[in-house]
Structures are given as C-alpha cells and as structure tokens.
Amino acid sequence: MAKRVLVVEDNELNLKLFCDLLRAHEFAAEAVRDGREAVARAREVMPDLIIMDIQMPHVTGYELILELKADETLRHIPVMAVTAYSGREDEERIRAAGAEAYVSKPISLARFMQAVGALV
C-alpha cells in the first residue's frame, strides 16, 4: 500500500509539482489548497507525512504545525516544512514548532524527495 502524503500548499503550481513528484515516486498524494482545512483533512486521511508550506494566507504553516503537534491523534505524523524563508532563525523556529524537516524554496527535486524518503 502506498504511503499517504498530505500536501498543504496554497500556490497551485507548487501544489501540482509536489503532488506529481510524489505520485511519480508511488506515494498517494492528497492536496490541500487552504491551510484552514489542513487539520481536518489530516484527521480524515491520517497521512504518513504532511508537507507544509509556511507562508499561506489565513493561517500560517507555522501555526498549523503547532496545532498538529498539540493534537494527540496527529502529533506522531512527521511534518516537512517547505518555505521561501531561508534564514537560520526561521529554520530553528519552524523546527522548534515541531517540523521534522525543513526544505527551502526554490526546491531541488532530488533534495525534496530525499527529505520525504527520510521521513516515511
């Protein structure tokens, strides 16, 4: 059975790229375009990994990571943050919130898949 990955990304091109790349590597990718739906979808899907954009409208990926890690049924799911923020302090803050991996944009496809493989 394919590993399930929930991709939370508001940018349509990035969302398609991530989902297509995951599917090409035999993952079952579930897309979430609006961060406000992310936690509810995570509860429904119970993915093996959550790929989280950090900079989104309405709710940030940082806030969502905090919410996911505070939830008893979801906290075990690894989170890979994907963000245009690339400063050392940004990475430390996002990892402190609970993200197990951090990949900065623009992404390297090989590095992206390497990070995914390390988490599932």
Question: 30 pairs with which residues across the strands?
Answer: 6
pLDDT at 95: 94
Query: Residue 1: pLDDT above 90?
Result: no
Measured CA to CA, the distance from residue 113 to residue 109 in angstroms comes to 6
Q: What pLDDT shows up at residue 86?
A: 66
Residue 66 has pLDDT above 90, yes or no: yes
Q: Judging by DSSP bridges, how do beta strands 28-32 and 4-8 pair with one another?
A: parallel
pTM for the whole structure? 0.95
Residue 40 pLDDT more than 70?
Answer: yes
